[in-house]
Amino acid sequence: MRYLSIFVLLWICQVSPAQVLVRNVTVVDVEKKKLLAGYDVITADGRIAVVEKTKKDRSTDGLSVIDGTGKFLVPGFTDAHVHFFQSGGLYARPDVIDLRKYRPFDEQLKWVHQHMDDFLRRYSSCGITSVIDVGSSYHFLSQRDSFNRKNDAPLIRMTGPLLTTYVPGPYKELGNESPFAMMLSEDGVRKSVRDQIPLHADFIKIWYIVTDPDLEKGARKNLPLVKAAIDEAHKHNLQVAVHATQRITAQLAVEAGADFLVHSIDDEVISKDFIQLLLKNKTVLCPTLVVMGNYSKVLGHEYHFSTYELEKANPATVATVLDYPQPDTALAANYIKSIQGPMQMAREKKADSIMQVNLKLLVDAGVVIAAGTDAGNIGTQHASSFFLELEAMQAAGMNNWQLLEAATINGAKAIGEENDWGSIAKNKLANMLILDASPLEDLANWQKIDWVINKGYAFPPSSFVKNKPEMLAQEQLNAYNAHNLEAFLAPYADDVEIYQFPNTLQIKGKDAMRKAYQFVAQSKGLYCRLVNRIISGNMVIDQEEVRGLGPDTLKGIAIYYIENGKISKVYFKP
């Protein structure tokens, strides 16, 4: 019995949230738009227990103390629009570009399930402590709770399959992996809503798609089904999110009681009447400004990853984008020609302009705006795309206070949970970030994260992602192909050694490596194709083909040794 008691005590200590005191910090109150300087914030049992002025004589017994002097405490960020059944890579949407003969879609879905833990850790490392999946499947719903219980994973809110009148071909016959539930009758729609209740869907999502050439006629034809879904969801105290990118579908959805519009209206500049409708109904809107442009950039062979993206995004999904126009160059050539055509470019420019104008009109009128990326779609990476979306929202005219609201409390408002999380207040969920500089002065300061407090636990942001050997090898290969020298060097140890196989030392130290590899940033035609990879413990062996360093394709083997989370030695064999 004595040993059992010790075991139980150890188990309790491991799973019980720590009590954290952030002392003498400036609290960013996103609800009242105030900076509260010189405050103490204490967490207990995963919640915020104390928010009050600093007391010099405050007891610190049993508390993990973090000195917040000169720092800023903000609520954890929320990405209010993600899709976990999509990876963000080239194979994520077979209804957009069908590459299933190269990677069957069931294998793609299996890969995403297996890498959910990595995606979630990447969100946490970026300070995104809450994510809202606005279109999932029964399988992902069943997986959600196992991650919600993890201390290092963000809070997850998730709907089940999208209720829709149109299902793209590749998504049919997927069983519990299907992200769609067909709306055929009002009774059937109500049943589809009830089917999600046993799996505790956090809200309901409608994909309000109109295929009729007469947009308004088609929208009104489907309206009874939309109304039935919203009515049934509200009967069960579930909020309803609606995909509606045309003004008429958005208007009809809001009139029917939609709580959350998950995209911008991109077909016309909105009217004062439409804005008043949103205000009257307290409807939240998520603009998703970058996702469609990302499709065009990837499929038009124009996507350029930033250093931040190369560091934060999953390297496997980034690789699929960098490898384009592989694996089907003939198919890719058709996409590139179409997307780079003048008519298509003009349409996209017009839609982007309308979305920016509409966002400014909505913000100025006081409509609640939630920041969300639509992450998982082709080119819109999980976690790393969040700040690209914020930059686009800022460019549309939102100031930093408005962005902070959109990135924190407004995400909680989108699904009716603002009383439980999204701001720093007593009894709310203890999801917070300690920043080294003021988030109101510069959007770049949002990335200067000293600590992530997630569910009451304090983590250094670098502690979340587990860089496996193959990930480090892929990160440096991605940066090589992206012609980003600093990102290329990042996975290497400061004292790295580069050898010509078997034992001729050619380069020692990262500084020497930086000088030797200047060509990475200078040779724009440079591309390294991974032919084959073998992983053995802390060693990764890559068979590679390099183009762009001369008239001939160079072929060889690279052997990477990983120690302490960095590449410590490399052996090259022609």
- Give the CATH number of domain 77-165+260-414; options: 2.40.350, 3.30.1050, 3.20.20, 1.10.600: 3.20.20
Instruction: Give DSSP secondary structure letters for 311-345.
Output: HHS-HHHHHHHHHTT-S-HHHHHHHHHHHTSHHHH
CA distance 316 to 283: 37
Across the chain, what does the average pLDDT equal?
A: 95
Tens of pLDDT along 268-277? 999 999 999 9
CA distance 209 to 433: 38
* 29-87: pLDDT as tens digits: 999 999 999 999 999 999 999 999 999 889 999 999 999 999 999 999 999 999 999 99
Confidence band (pLDDT; 50, 70, 90) for 9?
very low
Q: Is the peptide bond before 315 cis (omega within 30 degrees of 0)?
A: no
For the domain 2-75+422-463, what is the CATH superfamily, name and number? Urease, subunit C, domain 1 (2.30.40.10)
Does pTM surpass 0.85? yes
Q: How confident is the model at residue 470 (pLDDT cuts 50, 70, 90)?
A: very high
Domain ranges in the chain? 2-75+422-463, 77-165+260-414, 469-573
What is the C-alpha separation between 326 and 100, in angstroms, rounded? Answer: 13
Of residues 372, 301, 305, 319, the one with CA closest to residue 89: 319
- Asked if the model's pLDDT at residue 1 lies above 50, the reply is no
Res. 468: pLDDT tops 90: yes
Residue ranges in 72-115 assigned as alpha helix (H): 105-114
pLDDT in tens, 147-195: 999 999 999 999 999 999 899 999 999 999 999 999 999 999 999 999 9
- Distance between CA atoms of residues 229 and 448, nearest Å: 43
Helix H, strand E, coil C: the string for 188-229 is: HHHHHHHHHCCCCCCEEEEECCCCCCCHHHHHHHHHHHHHHH
**SS3 of 154, please?**
coil
Angle between helices 138-148 and 105-114 (to 10 degrees): 10
- pLDDT per residue over 89-145, tens digit each? 999 999 999 999 999 999 999 999 999 999 999 999 999 999 999 999 999 999 999
CATH code for the domain defined by 469-573: 3.10.450.50
Quick one: average pLDDT of 553-560?
96
